[in-house]
Structure 1
Amino acid sequence: MTFSQFALATGAWLMSSALYAGDSIRPIEPILVTIPAGTYEMGTIKRQNAQPVHTVSLNSFSLGKYEVTVKEFARFVEATNYPMPTQCRHELDGWFKPATKGNWQQNALTTSEYQPVVCIGWRAAQAYVDWLAKETGKPYRLPTEAEWEYAARAGTSTDYFFGDDESRSAVCEYANTADLYGESRLQRDANTSYKNWDTGMASCSDGSAYASIVGMYKPNPFGVHDIVSNVLEFMADCYADNYDDASATGAARQHVNCEERSTRGGSWHWNNWPHSFRSSIPEDFIGGVDGFRIAMDGQSTKKSKETQLFEAALHAAQAREKINRVDRFDFVEPVANLMLTEDGGLVSLVWDKHPDPLVTEYRVFRNKVRDSMFRLIAANINEPTFREPTPTHQVEYTVVAVKGHLQSAYSEPVLSPLGFSPIPGKIEAEHVNSLTGASIAMSTDGRGDFNLSGRNGIEATAEFSYQLNVKKAGYYQLSYRVAAPQDVEGFSVFLDDKPIAQAAIKNTGGIINGKLSQVRKCIFLRVS
C-alpha cells in the first residue's frame, strides 16, 4: 500500500472512530516542553536583516517538542473541511517547480504520517492553531521570532546550540539537512545536486534524504527536536527587513497588510543556518519544505489521552525508522588524484584506484558550467578511468566511489580545455571565455538552462568574450533572448576587437510573476 492509500485509509478510520460527544473530532494536542523565562541578545551582526542586536526579555512559555505532523494535521482537516491548497511547490528536478499537483496528504515528498505536514501555507497553519485553541480552550498559537530564537539557542551564544560547526560535520547528529546521504539519493532520484547549489551541503550523513519523521535527531538543551532543520517553520510575525521596531518583550510584529511572514530554521532541502538568521515567505505561498510547530502561553499541561496515544505511536515509528537507517552512514573517502588529459579529440580522466575493497563502482559527473550543479554522465565504471569526446566548450568533471549504493563525497574537480563554438551553430551564453560585470545564473524557464545576469542585472560596463570557429566568411544572423525592465542602450558585438554590430534593447517587462519576461531578437553580422 502506498502512503497516499495509507493516509486515506487512516483518514477513514479517524472519521469513524475519532468521533466523540457532540460528533466532534478531538484534536491531538501537541507534545510541549516548557521554556523558562529569560533575557537574551537577539540578532547578529552577520546579517543585515537581523540587526540591530537588541535585548529581549521573555516570560516562560511552551513550545512544541516536534514540528506538527501529517497525522496531527489530519484531525483539523477532517473536523473543519478547511479548503486546503491543491497545488504545491514540491517536485524535484534540480530545483522546485513553481507549482505541481499535490496537497498536504498526497505529494511526492511525504511518505509517512509522522513527517512534518507540508504543502499547507502560512494561512492554514494559522487556521490550525486557531482551531486547536478553540477546541481545547488553551492559548495555542504560532511562536514569535523572538521566542523561537530564544528556544533554539537554549542559553548558548554559538551559531547553533551544539557549537559553531564551521566544518558542517557535526550537524547531522542534530538535524535533517542537505548532506551526503541526501546528495546520494538526490543524484539517484533526480540526477541533480546540492553541490555548488545555494548554501551547499554538510560533510556528514543524517540518514534522511527528504523530510524526516520528527524527533529522529538529538534535542537541544530545552528538549526541542528538529529546531536546526527538517522543514522551514512559520512564525506569527509579519516580516520586516530589520529589527528597528522589534519588541523588547518578544511580541510578534503585525502589520495591517502583511504579505510576507517570517520563517525560521532550515529544511532538508537546504543547508542549515545559524539560529539568529532569518528568512521570510509570502503569506499565500504553498511549499513542500515549509511547516510549523506550536507555541502556548505559560507552562505545558498534562497530556491528553489522544496525545498519549499519538506519542506512543510516534515512538514506535521512530524505532522502526532507526532500524531502517542503520546502513545509511557508511560513506567511503573521496576519490583521490583525479587528472585530465586531452588528445586526438578525446578527454581522458584517470584517478587512483580506491583502497576500500568494498567499493563496487565509480560514477563520473560533468558540470556544463563551472561551479554549478554536477550531473551524472557515467555509472557502473569498474576501472579508474573514463574517456569521452572533447566537449566543444569548457566543462568540469568530478568522480565518486560507490559502496553499498552510497556514493562518496565528490573528488576535487578538473576542467577540460576551453574549446571553440562552431559557427554556424548555437553559442550558449554561459560558455564564456571571460566574463566581467555579470554572473551566470540558472534560468527560470524550467529547462535547466542558464542566463547571464547579476544581483542588479548586467552592469553597463559588462564584457563577455567567446572563442568561435567561423568556417566561412559571410553574413550571419545573431539571435538572442533578452529580458529588461526598461529601455537601455544595448550592447555591441566585437570580432577580434573590432566592432561589427550594435543592438538596442527595449523594455520587455523584466520580472513578471517571478519569471523573466524574455523576448527573442536578432541582428545581422558580416564576418570576413
Structure 2
Amino acid sequence: MRYLVVSCLVATSTLSGCNLYYESQAEDMVQRQMDAMVFVEGGEFMMGNPGGWSVRSDTIPAHRVIVDDFYIQKYEVTQGDFELFMAVTDYKPSDDRYGDMRGENSERFEATLPAVASWSDAQAFCEWLGKRADAKVRLPTEAEWEFAARSRGQMPRYATGSGEAVEDVTMAAKVEYSRYSPPSDKVALPKPPGAFPPNGLGLYDMSGNVGEWVSDNYSHDYYEKSPVDNPKGPVEGQRDIFEELPYRVLRGGNYKEFHGNTTVTRQKGSETLAAETRGFRCTMN
C-alpha cells in the first residue's frame, strides 16, 4: 500500500484527488475487514498454562474464566490496510522511530504482511473501523483472544489446524542463529495472513506470525487475582521503567520464537512502541 500512496501523489495534481482515491479504497477495505469477522459463542474455560506449555511464570495459575459472545477477525490486519487507514485519517504512528524502522527493513513493510503497529496504533485502527462500520469494534481482551485461539477453550497447545507446531506447515520455520554470520532474524519475515491452515474456528495465524496486541494492561501476577466473568486486565498494570509507559499484553508469540508460540504465551510491550514482531486483529461485540 505504500506504493499506492506514492502513485496517488504522483498521478493527481490536487490533495482532493488523493482523498477521493483513498476514500474509495477505504470503503472497500472497511467492508472486507467487517466481512472477516468470525462469530465466537461465549463460554467457560480454564485460562492459562495447564502445565508444561510455557516456562513463563506469568502464564500461571490456570484459572476459570467466562466470556460472552463476540466476533473476531479471521486474519491479522495487513500493512497495506494500516497504511490506507493512515492515509485516509492523516494518522501518525505513535512511535517516533516508525520511519527509521521502515527505512532499515523495507521488506517487512510490504503491503501483504501483517501491520507493524504499536498498541496505540492498533487501538486507533480498530476504533476507526468501528466508526466507519457503525459497530463496536475494538481490540480483543486477553481472555477473548485465548478463548478464540484455543477454539472456544479447548486444549490445543498451538492455534493451528492440527494443534501442533510444524515448520513451514503450520507456522513459520525456526529462525536459525550462527556465531559466524549475521543472525538470520535480521532478514526473517512473517507470512502474509492466511498463509498457514486456520485453527478450529477458522482463525488464521494465532500462533507464530506476529505477536498480537490485546486491550489489557500487563501485570505479571494478574492470573492470581483475575475475576471470572469477562476479565479485562488490571486497571493499572506494570510500566516500562525506561520509557515510563504502560505495558500492554501481546499474545501468540511471533515468527522469531517458534516453540514459544503457544496458545498461553504472554508477552508485554510499551503501548506506544512498535516492533516488526508486533501486529493485531480487531474484535467486535
TM-score between the two structures when normalised by the length of structure 2: 0.78
Which of 213, 221, 224 matches 1:234?
Answer: 213
State the Cα distance separating 1:37 from its structure 2 match: 1.8
Which of 103, 106, 115 matches 2:113?
Answer: 115
Question: CA separation of 1:4/1:296 partners in 2, compared to 1, >3 Å: closer, same or farther?
Answer: closer
**Quick one: distance in 2 between partners of 1:150 and 1:215?**
20
Question: CA separation of 1:128/1:109 partners in 2, compared to 1, >3 Å: closer, same or farther?
Answer: same
State the Cα distance separating 1:193 from its structure 2 match: 4.5
Letter in 1 for 2:265: F
Aligned-pair RMSD on alpha carbons? 3.0
Would you say the 8 A contact 1:175–1:227 is kept in 2?
Answer: no
Identity rate of aligned residues, in percent?
A: 26
2:122 pairs with 1:125: yes
**Quick one: distance in 2 between partners of 1:11 and 1:135?**
24
Q: What is the CA deviation profile of residues 100-120 of structure 1, one whole-angstrom value per residue up to 9, with x for unaligned ones? A: 8134x98434253121110x3
Q: State which structure, 1 or 2, has the greater radius of gyration over its C-alpha atoms.
A: 1
Would you say the 8 A contact 1:11–1:74 is kept in 2?
Answer: no
2:51 pairs with 1:55: no
SS at match of 1:234: strand
Provide runs of 4+ in structure 1 moved above 6 Å.
Answer: 10-14
Residue in 2 that maps onto 1:296? 284
**Quick one: distance in 1 between partners of 2:10 and 2:236?**
40
Would you say the 8 A contact 1:112–1:213 is kept in 2?
Answer: no
Q: What is the CA deviation profile of residues 384-427 of structure 1, one whole-angstrom value per residue up to 9, with x for unaligned ones? A: xxxxxxxxxxxxxxxxxxxxxxxxxxxxxxxxxxxxxxxxxxxx
Residue in 2 that maps onto 1:265? 252
Which of 139, 157, 160 matches 1:159?
Answer: 157
State the Cα distance separating 1:62 from its structure 2 match: 0.8
**Quick one: distance in 1 between partners of 2:183 and 2:274?**
23
**Quick one: distance in 1 between partners of 2:214 and 2:250?**
5
Which of 194, 219, 238 matches 1:215?
Answer: 194
Aligned residues: 256
State the Cα distance separating 1:8 from its structure 2 match: 2.6
Residue in 2 that maps onto 1:451? none
SS at match of 2:39: strand
Residue in 1 that maps onto 2:274? 286
State the Cα distance separating 1:34 from its structure 2 match: 1.1
Equivalent residues in 2 for 1:52-91, closer than 5 Å? 52-84=61-93, 85-88=95-98
**Quick one: distance in 2 between partners of 1:106 and 1:8?**
19
Would you say the 8 A contact 1:76–1:128 is kept in 2?
Answer: yes
Structure number with the higher strand fraction is 1
2:250 pairs with 1:255: no
SS at match of 1:8: helix
Where relative contact order (Cα < 8 A, 6+ residues apart) is larger, the structure is 2
Would you say the 8 A contact 1:228–1:272 is kept in 2?
Answer: no
2:100 pairs with 1:101: yes
Question: CA separation of 1:108/1:17 partners in 2, compared to 1, >3 Å: closer, same or farther?
Answer: closer
**Quick one: distance in 2 between partners of 1:144 and 1:221?**
20
State the Cα distance separating 1:136 from its structure 2 match: 1.9
